[in-house]
């Protein structure tokens, strides 16, 4: 294979929702357009009709196909069957690159990639945590087990691709200094997402968009909204877009606070469609790595109010007035109140457009990862491409 020849790239991840799914969809499109063959292996138990429509959009960029199978979130004996089936599927796809995303995807890519390497197959094994197991600490038995598994799996990979500096620092603090190659490659978004989305005339003041689970902070959003109304002394409006296991809990919370008529809820939709429905985007997460919703909102010229967690300060600026203290509804309300009271809010909180696009575009992200794939493969003298082995059989 020439150094500039096409690669066969398989992305492995568990849940086809949220940021990981967005990340892989963009990589699949950009790498396919560059002449490479891409495939996906992921969970069949997660997602609904909205996610099915997203898969339909990227099928033209998946010449190696889309394979979905049951992959549980927690570790269980059923993982053995999932790994066995994954091995059969991956071996048949003859990959040059196995890129695992999230804890389960990283385990699949590294374990199966290592099994292929036993037979001297030339395959690059990469892992991108995307937060995932790094949200655990060693203060609990579950956290100790997860972080220990991270350390044990590390030598089975060729490189770890972190999506922000925070993620690399968290890995070093909780798992240990990486003993394999480690690169920071920022998440990036498609060029088409850099067009301004203007708010409709009936746009609400605040938008929460994302999974409806406590880690992402929907409860903080509801609490902070009520506090913001008291701070500004007038009724406001908000919208929550998304699905998740705790939806009913947040609906009850809104009713108890008397907010049922001023906070609406809608199921998952494309981010740019939701942006047109609001003036400000609020990201109240308790933990994050590098959330795509922040990048998408800024690219659409929507002001973002967010918790000071993960890599968000790397995007907004570490001294940004749009950052609130994590898990603190009062701090979040203070920022939200400024956003509806200060006419110059957008100008004060938006990053410089050219610099932002130059750092957080999908073309930069996909190109950097492709260079990493090739560099890893170039460092494997004596290995054989699985495709070449099959052809010679």
Tell me, yes or no, whether 307 and 378 share the same domain. Answer: no
What pLDDT, on the 0 to 100 scale, is given for residue 1? 43
Tell me, yes or no, whether 314 and 349 share the same domain. Answer: yes
Tell me, yes or no, whether 271 and 376 share the same domain. Answer: no
Structural contact between residues 338 and 206, judged by C-beta atoms closer than 8 angstroms? no
**By residue range, what is the domain housing residue 292?**
192-354
Would residue 345 count as lying in a domain? yes
Structural contact between residues 97 and 9, judged by C-beta atoms closer than 8 angstroms? yes
Tell me, yes or no, whether 156 and 16 share the same domain. Answer: yes
Q: Which of 239, 360, 346, 344 is nearest to 296 (CA)?
A: 360
Would residue 1 count as lying in a domain? no
User: Which helix (H) or strand (E) is 293 found in, with range?
Assistant: helix 292-299
In angstroms and rounded to an integer, the radius of gyration of the C-alpha atoms of the chain is 22
Would residue 154 count as lying in a domain? yes
Would residue 3 count as lying in a domain? no
Would residue 2 count as lying in a domain? no
What pLDDT, on the 0 to 100 scale, is given for residue 17? 84
Q: Where are the beta strands (DSSP E) in the chain?
A: 8-13, 37-43, 66-69, 97-101, 124-128, 159-162, 181-184, 204-209, 238-241, 263-266, 278-283, 304-307, 323-324
What pLDDT, on the 0 to 100 scale, is given for residue 125? 97
Would residue 102 count as lying in a domain? yes
Q: Which of 53, 28, 47 is nearest to 211 (CA)?
A: 47
8-state DSSP, 213: S
Separation of alpha carbons 67 and 186, rounded Å: 27
**What's the structural domain count of the chain?**
2
Tell me, yes or no, whether 271 and 386 share the same domain. Answer: no
User: Which helix (H) or strand (E) is 32 found in, with range?
Assistant: helix 18-33
Torsion over CA: 345, 348, 354, 360 (sign): negative
Tell me, yes or no, whether 113 and 144 share the same domain. Answer: yes
What pLDDT, on the 0 to 100 scale, is given for residue 2? 45
What pLDDT, on the 0 to 100 scale, is given for residue 3? 58
Q: Return the CATH number at 143.
A: 3.40.50.2000
What pLDDT, on the 0 to 100 scale, is given for residue 173? 94
Tell me, yes or no, whether 308 and 340 share the same domain. Answer: yes
Would residue 250 count as lying in a domain? yes
Give the position of tokens 């993982």: 79
pTM: 0.86
* 226 alpha carbon, distance to own chain's centre: 29
Tell me, yes or no, whether 121 and 255 share the same domain. Answer: no
Tell me, yes or no, whether 96 and 158 share the same domain. Answer: yes
Question: pLDDT 10s per residue in the chain (393 long)?
Answer: 445 789 999 999 998 988 899 999 999 999 999 999 999 999 998 888 889 999 999 999 999 999 998 887 766 667 777 788 888 888 888 999 999 999 989 999 999 999 998 877 889 999 999 887 888 888 888 889 889 999 999 999 999 999 999 999 999 999 999 999 999 999 999 988 999 999 999 999 999 999 999 999 999 999 999 999 999 999 999 999 999 889 999 999 999 999 989 999 999 999 999 999 999 999 999 999 899 999 999 999 999 999 999 999 999 999 999 999 999 999 999 999 999 999 999 999 999 999 999 999 999 999 999 999 999 999 875 555 554 554 444
Separation of alpha carbons 335 and 348, rounded Å: 12
Structure tokens, 69: 């199978």
Tell me, yes or no, whether 178 and 89 share the same domain. Answer: yes
What pLDDT, on the 0 to 100 scale, is given for residue 46? 86
What pLDDT, on the 0 to 100 scale, is given for residue 374? 96
Give the position of tokens 């938008």: 207
Tell me, yes or no, whether 123 and 26 share the same domain. Answer: yes
66 strand-pairing partners: 40
Would residue 231 count as lying in a domain? yes
Tell me, yes or no, whether 159 and 19 share the same domain. Answer: yes
B/e letters for 161-197, b = 16+ CB within 10 Å, e = fewer, are bbbbebbbebbeebbeebeeeebbbbbbbbeebbeeb
């Amino acid at each position: 294979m020439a150094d500039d020849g096409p690669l066969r790239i398989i992305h492995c991840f568990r849940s086809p929702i949220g940021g990981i799914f967005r990340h892989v969809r963009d990589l699949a499109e950009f790498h396919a357009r560059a002449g490479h063959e891409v495939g996906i292996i992921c969970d069949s138990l997660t997602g609904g009709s909205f996610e099915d429509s997203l898969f339909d959009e990227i099928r033209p960029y998946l010449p190696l196909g889309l394979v979905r199978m049951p992959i549980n979130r927690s570790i269980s004996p059923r993982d053995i069957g999932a790994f066995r089936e994954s091995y059969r599927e991956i071996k048949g796809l003859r990959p040059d690159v196995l890129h695992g995303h999230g804890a389960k995807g990283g385990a699949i890519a590294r374990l199966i990639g290592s099994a292929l390497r036993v037979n001297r197959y030339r395959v690059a094994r990469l892992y991108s945590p995307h937060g995932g197991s790094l949200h655990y600490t060693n203060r609990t038995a579950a956290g100790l087990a997860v972080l220990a598994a991270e350390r044990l799996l590390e030598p089975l990979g060729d490189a770890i691709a972190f999506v922000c500096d925070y993620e690399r620092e968290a890995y070093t603090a909780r798992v240990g200094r990486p003993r394999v190659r480690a690169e920071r490659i920022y998440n990036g978004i498609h060029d088409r997402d850099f067009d301004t989305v203007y708010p409709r005339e009936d746009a609400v003041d605040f938008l929460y968009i994302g999974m409806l689970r406590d880690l992402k902070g929907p409860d903080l959003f509801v609490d902070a909204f009520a506090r913001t109304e008291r701070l500004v002394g007038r009724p406001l409006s908000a919208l929550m877009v998304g699905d998740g296991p705790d939806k009913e809990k947040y609906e009850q919370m809104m009713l108890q606070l008397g907010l049922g008529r001023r906070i609406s809820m809608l199921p998952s939709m494309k981010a740019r469609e939701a942006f047109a429905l609001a003036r400000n985007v609020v990201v109240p997460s308790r933990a994050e790595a590098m959330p795509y919703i922040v990048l998408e909102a800024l690219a659409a010229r929507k002001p973002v109010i967010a918790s000071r967690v993960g890599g968000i300060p790397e995007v907004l600026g570490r001294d940004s007035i749009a950052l609130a203290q994590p898990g603190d509804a009062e701090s979040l309300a203070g920022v939200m109140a400024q956003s509806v009271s200060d006419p110059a809010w957008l100008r004060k909180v938006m990053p410089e457009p050219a610099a932002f696009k130059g750092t957080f575009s999908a073309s930069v992200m996909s190109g950097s990862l492709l260079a990493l794939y090739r560099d890893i493969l170039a460092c494997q003298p004596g290995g054989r491409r699985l495709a070449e082995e099959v052809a010679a059989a």
